[in-house]
Structure 1
Amino acid sequence: MHIESVSLHHIEMELKTPFVTSASTTKNRELIIVEMKDKDGVIGWGECSAFASPWYTEETIQTAWHMLNDFLVPLVLNKRIEHPNDVQMLFQNIKRNNMAKASIEGAIWDVYAKRKNQPLSKLLGGNKYKIEVGAAIGIQENELTLLNTIEQYIEQGYKRIKVKIKRGMENAILSPIRKHFPSLALMVDANSDYTLHDIDLLKRLDHYNLLMIEQPLAANDFVEHAQLQKQLKTPICLDESINSYHDAFQAIQLKSCQMIAIKVAKVGGLTASKQIHDLCKAKNIPVWCGGMLDSGIGRAHNIAISSLDNFTLPGDTSASSRYWDRDIIVPEVTMNDGFISVPTNAGIGYEIDRKALTAFTLKSTTIT
């Protein structure tokens, strides 16, 4: 591959309903869409999932734009790239900034798959024709809204429900859920809202028969998570802690968790995601694919990686209509009875809705 130009599109999409966590409320989702063209005119697409503020990782839309424009794009322009795996080496001297890196690498994977006339999933080693998905629900205004929202997703066929929790609200959120849905496949996401001082609160979660507790402690608390897991019956799943292969290796070695959520953007791309998947498979640690309030482009990359065989738990890659009145891909991602079909077309398997992309764009630049 010989990359001839890269266009960056800073877009803003309005969520159907605000997404509330213990740390933030998102009403409008800003993203950076990467459009990459090689010398033969093949176009690949990537997505930078940084948020507008650094509540989730240190990256923001503004810092990612700077990194892409001034550092990362120049490293791939007019270079001969034999395989997308080579991008890791090209970026090795730039520390972290994983979401910016993932957006470039994802576009290169798309170009590569289109040049090979193969679905992205197949080139990553995927063997599934459909993936199982769940729904993630932010903190709701009241109990009735929460229960009605869960009921809607159950009726739509989602295979598990994830709810956000925060310190002091555990029982208020979980007790009514278990009362109304005693056999629901249920997990909770704490977004690092607890410390080991809250161990008694966290141990009470064992009563709710949860699939897992996602990221109860801080991102760098590998030792503390290991101490906590010893005292819980419920499996701990790490998310914010897993930003690289080494993080996953460390978590497994220390027995900090029993499951891992892989987020393509957060770990630096599809190559790193596959490496973590393969490590977890070898160590009998099940994985699932986390969501980032993605547009259809990021969603397509998540579908592709989720086709690998150790993604055995339902992921957060739900249908486009779950979040957006209008997505930027055609056809939009759809869900049927809790499953999303893995595209069979070359590359990410979806076309870009140029009119929608233009309508959502705040600013663009092309680098040659």
Structure 2
Amino acid sequence: MSPRPVPAGPAAAHRAGPGRPTGPPLADRLHGAWLGRVAGNMLGKPVEQGEVWTRARIDRYLRRAAALPLTDYLPEPTDAADRAALRPEWRACVRGRVHGSCRDDDVDYAILGLHLLETHGFGFSTEQVGDLWLLTLPYRQIFTAERAAYRNLVNGLRPPLTATYDNPCQEWIGALIRADVYGWTCPGAPSRAAGLARRDAVLSHTGNGVYGAMFAAALISAAFTAATVRDALETALGVIPASSRLARTVRRVVTLHEARLPWEETLTTVSAETAGLGWIHTVPNAAVLTAGLLYGDGDFTRTIALTVRGGLDTDSNGATAGSVAGVRAGAEGIPARWKDPLHDTVRSAVSGFDGVRISELAERTLRLATAGP
């Protein structure tokens, strides 16, 4: 696919924020972000079913295969019951069998966000997000709150009713997984990234569902300039209401980490405190993500491995953790075992993007991030 021209937009985001990106060059960091998102998604995809694949069961599976600590894609299951419980796509996601990425909505939405900004610029409207869904996304490849909003769009409803009518999933994780591109294209400008993510999120979500998208976009944006991941998390907390359940839960994980509780005890504590919300709800998944980032301690492999081992929506959390860790490491800093099997190729249900090169997506993201007024 040949690159499309980038529409006129605001001044370069990386010049507008509180600091300039530091560390690896911006192009390498954006390439790392895309690679990290795809690799983290692939790592978590086989065990994406939180009520079945609990933390204990994931680790038992890894222990049987002598794969703890986890340092590569999931091993092939050694137990017949585990094999039967994995997602149907597992054979294309386990180590030794990865040849390019599987199609997944966690990557589709990153591609769609890029397409949105290329088509409508940074001044896009929520209505234009919905129009692009109808034009480019197959209905059966979207789920939960997005499927409810899609159905509402087809029936003639407009935002914000698309998010609230007959939609029991308004605070689930779907809007959060759509937020990466706003952080990538606003490096060092977390408030601006959060504003873009909010405009997208309100098509399908409310409350903590919207805050999750804002938090993720700001976190990824801040990751370009923050001294540490802990600092990036603090910045991201600043764009959402401090009284929200999302902010209180993320802060709780930060506090337990600072108290030097082991990773397992931190997740056990927060899991008990968020019991009843369900495995696709934004709040408990943000806790798993936050713990993975903090206890990953800046190491790409440890970060995505701990995040996926944390359970719940494993492929979504792995993808977001990979995005943040990829920004920090840059493509050159990601170990070859994660990126080489992807063969620079993404499968996608977004019309016109199936088989697109990861490197091309990164180049197009860079053009948006550095676009002039």
Range of TM-score over shorter length: 0.3 to 0.5
TM-score, structure 2 as length reference: 0.32
Query: Which has a greater percent of helix?
Result: 2
* Bigger-Rg structure (1/2): 1
Say which structure is richer in strand.
1
Bigger relative CO (Cα 8 Å, ≥ 6 apart): 2
Normalised by the length of structure 1, the TM-score is 0.33
